[in-house]
Amino acid sequence: MTTQPAPTPEPPANIGPAAAHEIDALAALMRAVIEPLGYYNARAKRAELMKYDADGLRTLTADDPAAVLVARDGARLVGFCVSRYDDATVWLSWFGTASDARGRGIGAALLAALGRTIPGRGAHKVWCDSRVENVESKAVLERAGFVRVATLTNHWFGQDFYLWEWYPNGTGAV
């Protein structure tokens, strides 16, 4: 009896660097994801939304196309992963999925795509923060192999954060 190979699972979305024509839609998606988030206070959200308007995103992509990844479902943007090179590390600034597309593996796929950009960007690790109450983010980061390295209390905008790190080889050994 011959056994059929298991079918390759459908990727949850088409992920790649944001194209110039997608930047306005991306800024709108980031606003739609960040604005209603209960985990951040008003000051924090205002500051983040100012950083990641269309002009801010255009500057990031011009400097480093891998800094702004988007997930597409057909022509529609359903997720994003924004990061920046920082002295041989990559700081993951934000990742998010449109509210009606969550739970389909898009967040996990964005983190995996970010990981694949790391060697080409001359970096050896990714690091990021998350609000300590953000259970969805914590779950996805842990599943992607991020390790929690610190808790910062009363930190950015007076709120509590976890710091996380991730290495391409999983260990940090060089």
Ligand X SMILES: CC(C)(COP(=O)(O)OP(=O)(O)OC[C@H]1O[C@@H](n2cnc3c(N)ncnc32)[C@H](O)[C@@H]1OP(=O)(O)O)[C@@H](O)C(=O)NCCC(=O)NCCS
Contacts by residues 46-53 (CB-CB < 8 Å, ≥ 24 positions apart): 47/157, 48/94, 52/27, 52/82, 52/93, 52/94, 53/27
The answer to whether 52 contacts ligand X (rule: CB under 6 A) is: no
The answer to whether 81 contacts ligand X (rule: CB under 6 A) is: no
CB neighbours of 163 closer than 8 A, spacing ≥ 6?
127, 128, 129, 148, 149, 150, 151, 152
Select from 110, 114, 94 the least CA-distant residue to 37.
94
The answer to whether 140 contacts ligand X (rule: CB under 6 A) is: yes
Q: Which of 45, 51, 72, 104 binds ligand X (CB under 6 A)?
A: 104
> Is 24 or 136 the residue whose CB approaches ligand X more closely?
136
> Is 118 or 141 the residue whose CB approaches ligand X more closely?
141
The answer to whether 38 contacts ligand X (rule: CB under 6 A) is: no
> Is 41 or 62 the residue whose CB approaches ligand X more closely?
41
The answer to whether 28 contacts ligand X (rule: CB under 6 A) is: no
Task: Return residues touching ligand X (CB under 6 A).
Answer: 33, 37, 95-97, 102-108, 130, 134-137, 139-140
